[in-house]
Amino acid sequence: MAKHKAKTRKDDLRTGTPFWVKTPHSTVSAQASLTRERFDVIVVGAGISGALVAEALTRAGKSVLILDRRPPVRGSTPASTAMIQHEIDMPLTRLRKKIGKERADRAWTRSVRAVEDLVKLADKLELDCQMRSKPALYLAGNEMGARALASEVRAREEIGIRAEYLKRSDLVERYGMDRQAAIWSDASASANPAQLTAGLLHAALSRKAQIVSPVEITDMAELPSGIALATKKGEVLVADHAVFCTGYEYLPQMKTKSHHVTSTWALASDPISTLPEWMRDVIVWEAAEPYLYFRTDESGRVIAGGEDEEASESNSDPRNLAKKARIIAQKLHDLTGVKIGKPAYTWSAPFSVTDDGLPIFDRVPGFERVFAVLGFGGNGITFSVIGAQIIAAAIAGKPDPDAEIFRYR
Ligand SMILES: Cc1cc2nc3c(=O)[nH]c(=O)nc-3n(C[C@H](O)[C@H](O)[C@H](O)COP(=O)(O)OP(=O)(O)OC[C@H]3O[C@@H](n4cnc5c(N)ncnc54)[C@H](O)[C@@H]3O)c2cc1C
């Protein structure tokens, strides 16, 4: 029996208070203790990735035990600003250069489908999570100017992803923002990430799933007929398969050189009644370093973020939080003319990125029946939809044709 030491990292996943933890229906009650029941699959992690995986598996008829060392939906998911984007962090033109045209085109196409699938799923399950389809505006910045955006539009259109190039005057006229150019594209969305996750977990629980918390998994081993997971308290749990959806607290075996942790900041304003009408319907981000992004919620709050730093620790410094919130609010004002006043909520968090902007959904190296869903990147939620589809298919013995794009690298 191959036995691997598998203690996960433990990070401070948030500093400050994300708005979402204050919204109703944003968590789920968990059982406090484990039973002797055997499950088909153990899902470790009750954030958006674990919730999507558990929903997909239970929809396919599997029995699922969901474990978390924190209460459900209290990892990094509630820190998310939940712009559910079909646009991958790495523009299509650049991704083609990095991983080849065929694979890049498939990754982008799959990302569009993932947003559509998630919106449909939320609708079908009648999730009360403010899920709303919205177009995205991608503004020219110091990373991509007007010409680069024009060729990005051509690349996307070539593979059937609708995108419209907006020149400066169009952008000013339609959105009152003065930038060299922008890409307008439909097929994105926004939601309350905590309510979305809680709703998906409830859907899994209404089928054959249970959630137990707090339970920390510290070790794992592969058996001839399944897997065994050890808890911090010394219990051993056996199942046919395990899926680790542990976010940025990945297992040592999951460590890959193509991935690193950075820091990011976000805020939510009080509801603003005088917002420009367009701001309620569009999500905005920029091709800049550091970048600004923003969206609104149904009540007219502006939720904005960015100011990322390469350092993995700087997000836990409260002095940085106040400073970064001021910068984000000022940038938003300079760009849109909207003054948000003192933010109602500010928060910061670690954030994982990969060199090619793509996530990892794969068997953990050295294991046949243990999978990892590492939905890293600025569109981690969209990626986790793809991850849930790929892993549920692998467990059902029906490999997904796009799986090889998201393998360990
Ligand atoms: C500020 C910020 C803004 C973001 N904005 C966006 C955005 O606009 N759009 C978007 O798509 N994405 C965004 N993201 C990314 C997105 O939020 C993440 O991809 C997503 O939250 C990761 O979810 P997860 O379920 O993988 O991780 P988590 O929510 O962290 O869940 C993992 C869970 O695993 C548990 N766990 C870990 N180790 C163990 C163990 N050993 N045993 C038991 N349990 C364990 C943890 O307690 C945790 O609850 C943002 C992220 C941040 C930080």
pLDDT digits (tens, 9 = 90+) for 49-74: 999 999 999 999 999 999 999 999 99
307 backbone φψ class: left, alpha, beta (φ>0; ψ -120 to 50): left
DSSP alpha helix (H) spans, 13-129:
48-59, 92-99, 101-124
- Rg of the chain over all Cα atoms, to the nearest angstrom: 21
Ligand 1 centroid to residue 247 C-alpha, Å: 5
Using omega within 30 degrees of 0 as the cis cutoff, is the peptide bond preceding 214 cis? Answer: yes
Find all residues with CB under 8 Å of 59, minimum gap 6, and list them. Answer: 207, 392
Return the percentage of the chain with pLDDT > 70, whole number.
97
Contact 192, 26 (CB under 8 A): yes
Lowest-confidence pick of 7-21, 245-259, 276-290: 7-21
What's the pLDDT at 5?
42
Write out residues with Cβ below 6 Å of ligand 1. Answer: 8, 13, 44-50, 67-70, 74-77, 79-84, 216-217, 245-247, 249, 264, 266, 305, 349, 351, 375, 378-382
What's the pLDDT at 375?
74
Burial label for 387, CB within 10 Å (0-12, 13-18, 19+), is: buried
> For the segment 157-211, what is each residue's pLDDT rounded down to a tens digit?
999 999 999 999 999 999 999 999 999 999 999 999 999 999 999 999 999 999 9
- Name the E strands within 92-203: 132-139, 164-167, 181-190
Ligand 1 centroid to residue 317 C-alpha, Å: 20
Fold of 259-354: D-Amino Acid Oxidase; Chain A, domain 2 (3.30.9)
Q: Which atom of ligand 1 is nearest to the CA of 7?
A: 41
Pocket mutation for ligand 1, best pick of 68, 111, 284 (most atoms within 8 Å of C-beta): 68
What's the pLDDT at 2?
37
Given 3.50.50.60, 3.40.50.300, 3.40.718.10, 3.90.330.10, which CATH number is that of 3-79+194-257+357-406?
3.50.50.60
- Report how far residue 386's alpha carbon sits from residue 364's, in angstroms, rounded to the nearest whole number: 17
Domain ranges of the chain: 3-79+194-257+357-406, 259-354
Find all residues with CB under 8 Å of 380, minimum gap 6, and list them. Answer: 48, 49, 80, 359
CA distances from 123 to 53, 116, 352 (A): 18, 11, 29
What's the pLDDT at 250?
78
Q: Which atom of ligand 1 is nearest to the CA of 383?
A: 11
Ligand 1 centroid to residue 384 C-alpha, Å: 10
User: Does residue 4 have a pLDDT over 70?
Assistant: no
Q: Which two tokens stand for residue 6?
A: 């598998």
